[in-house]
Structure 1
Amino acid sequence: MSFEVLDPGMLTQVQDMGRLGYQHIGVTTGGPMDEHAFLWANRLLNNPLNAPQLEITFGRLSLLAHSDTSIALTGADLGARLNDRPIAPWQTYEIKQGDQLSFSMPVAGLRAYLAVSGGLDVPARLGSAATVSREQLGGLDGTGAKLAKGDRIPLAPPSAVAKASVPYSEIPDYRKPLRVGVIPGYQYRHFPRSARARFFTSEYQVSQNIDRMGYRLSGEAIHGDLDGIISEGIAYGAIQIPTDGQPIVLMKDRQTIGGYPKIGSLSALGAGQLAQRAPGATVSFYLTDVAEAEARRMIFNHRLRQGAPGTTG
């Protein structure tokens, strides 16, 4: 049971929820850039929530099915088609042997998630199949390679899956300007009140310099009273302020330590919404705290457990 890669697209990788417990030796987590979309894809199929799936960035992927299975598609609308039929994200589909699944270019969002009933049958390295190319870990053969033409993606045995879709209230609109909460960081007090006020009242644009390591934003420069700090651990979503004053949001493939001051951090769900924004998108911030971020996560986890129309368990 497998999918054959006819065209790997711009960037398609195997991801699970990430490689946890190794940052102290310099191994980053990896994992899905958008946890919200990733987890819903597995939930639609009643897969284990950590089951490996494909993260498709910018599209152009084309796959040929060599067996019958069921899939769930979530996240960005990349103009997906099943054979000659357009299909929408945030729901499940039956796949028959010989079917061709293809993606064009982004309509809304940047990253789509393709889950398969039972998950992808790929090896774990350091407890995870998450692809981190820089560290040569994860993916189809464990070496961190992105998908290539001719690859065969092994699939776990499928289970019977009812047709299901994500509740409309849980589907983000990636075309809207993003406003996201920031939890103050260790160096927050080293930014004067004027700089903090500028940061929280300004709009920033997503620059062309974005990847799985970080999102560089452009807009009102802010400066603190620290030129640098002793390198320390970096959380997912941390917002570094380099010497030019332009914020950099650290993402899933970030280095594990860094020496730039950090004004704060996005939550995992907030950083995931940023990961769906293309260059030119507008982003603004508001001050929040750990309690609010935890409450939002608890609400999301509760809705995820409730499932979606057609799901069980």
Structure 2
Amino acid sequence: MSFSTGFLVKEPGMLSLIQDAGRFGSFNIGLTNGGPIDLQAFQWANRLCANELNATAIEISIGGLALIAQVDTTIAVTGANMSLSINHTNKDLWRSYAIKAGDLIELGFASEGIRSYLAVAGGFTIKESFGSTATVCREGVGGLVGDKLKKDNILPCASQRRKTNLVLPEQFRPRYCNDVVLRTVPSYQQKNFSSFQQRLFYSSDYTVSKSFDRMGYRLTGKKITGDIEGILSEGICQGAIQIPADGQPIVLLNDRQTIGGYPKIGAVISIDIAKLGQLKQGDKVRFEPISMEQAHNCFHLDLSYFNRKKLNVCD
């Protein structure tokens, strides 16, 4: 099924990308997973629209997106604190709204966090590329043409207005700050870092440098030194913390390369990636070691908590 109408991109913003939950099973051909940096906010946007959690939505980094609706539908915006307006009337985030054809939806620029998610009832109807609609610009795959949104793009979707609008109560919404602790599972390569270097790493504050994007966050702070500077290239997981020759950690994210040759002191657990991905230059990061078993417990507790949270019906 194809759609010739949906939303017209009036202003694309700084960096707006079509994303579903990600592209998996293609690492063997060099394609990374992509998908939303803040998976929690992405899933809440879809849940507020009564969608499947994997439904295709838009990730808006920094802000500035403006859309004109061409169908009657329902939308929701979650994530970073970006001002939202519909037909120049300010609206709250973390809830869904009925939209009519001709309505203007505008997002301002983020004041807390940097990434927001706009979902539409039924999801955007985008052709899959290698099993996913997730956009990875470096690889030129996903989205409309493997690139960020541009002015006058049409984002196709069906006319599916939901019967009720939903809101996530304020006490359940994440809080975005500029100082986070990232729980980290030590790597098998931690043996290449002395006990002193490991203690130094886990007791130091790091600052987000100007070099951060969807591939990864380069941090600045205490130099960490291992007994090797490189390894044979091997697969890299999301959240891997590489220690290059300059000793400044790099945390790899969704659009990372699939293999790499820097030693890794550990990996940030998946549910903490969202915290890192909402930071900007100058924000602070600390690392806290946890075991694999603790990481599993954190993941399942977080999933259970998400599933138990109830949405309220609103006008």
Pick the aligned partner of 1:35 from 21, 34, 39. 39
Which deviates further from its counterpart, 293-302 or 9-18?
293-302
Alpha-carbon distance in structure 2 between the residues aligned to 1:244 and 1:176: 25
Pick the aligned partner of 2:204 from 182, 202, 205. 202
Alpha-carbon distance in structure 2 between the residues aligned to 1:301 and 1:162: 25
How far did 1:300 drift?
A: 2.3
Q: Secondary structure at the match of 1:42?
A: helix
Number of the residue aligned with 1:221 = 223
TM-score by length of 1: 0.95
Q: Secondary structure at the match of 1:269?
A: helix
How far did 1:269 drift?
A: 1.5
Alpha-carbon distance in structure 2 between the residues aligned to 1:304 and 1:46: 15
**Within 5 Å, which residues of 2 pair with 1:240-279?**
240-279=242-281
Alpha-carbon distance in structure 2 between the residues aligned to 1:106 and 1:29: 25
**Within 5 Å, which residues of 2 pair with 1:1-313?**
1-140=5-144, 143-310=145-312
1:203-246 CA-to-partner distances (Å, cap 9, x unmatched) read 11111101111100111111111111000000001000001110
What is the RMSD of the two structures over their aligned residues, measured on CA atoms?
A: 1.4
Alpha-carbon distance in structure 2 between the residues aligned to 1:73 and 1:57: 13
How far did 1:164 drift?
A: 1.6
Number of aligned pairs? 309
Q: Conserved in 1, the CA contact under 8 Å of 2:124 and 2:156? A: yes
Q: Conserved in 2, the CA contact under 8 Å of 1:53 and 1:120? A: yes
In the alignment, residue 46 of structure 1 is paired with which amino acid?
A: A
In the alignment, residue 205 of structure 2 is paired with which amino acid?
A: E
Alpha-carbon distance in structure 2 between the residues aligned to 1:291 and 1:281: 29
Structure 1's unaligned 5+ residue stretches are none
Alpha-carbon distance in structure 1 between the residues aligned to 2:140 and 2:150: 15
Q: Secondary structure at the match of 1:109?
A: coil
Distance 1:208 1:302, change over 3 A: same
TM-score by length of 2: 0.95
Q: Secondary structure at the match of 1:4?
A: strand
Q: Conserved in 1, the CA contact under 8 Å of 2:235 and 2:259? A: yes
In the alignment, residue 260 of structure 1 is paired with which amino acid?
A: Y
How far did 1:88 drift?
A: 2.5
How far did 1:159 drift?
A: 4.8
1:27-71 CA-to-partner distances (Å, cap 9, x unmatched) read 110100111111111112220111000000011111111111111
Which deviates further from its counterpart, 125-134 or 151-160?
151-160
Alpha-carbon distance in structure 2 between the residues aligned to 1:151 and 1:248: 34
Alpha-carbon distance in structure 1 between the residues aligned to 2:189 and 2:310: 41
How far did 1:110 drift?
A: 0.4
Alpha-carbon distance in structure 1 between the residues aligned to 2:219 and 2:296: 25
In the alignment, residue 100 of structure 2 is paired with which amino acid?
A: K
In the alignment, residue 197 of structure 2 is paired with which amino acid?
A: A
In the alignment, residue 157 of structure 2 is paired with which amino acid?
A: L
Structure 2's unaligned 5+ residue stretches are none
How far did 1:98 drift?
A: 1.4
Alpha-carbon distance in structure 2 between the residues aligned to 1:282 and 1:156: 42
Alpha-carbon distance in structure 1 between the residues aligned to 2:71 and 2:165: 19
Alpha-carbon distance in structure 1 between the residues aligned to 2:251 and 2:158: 35
Distance 1:59 1:286, change over 3 A: same
How far did 1:307 drift?
A: 4.5
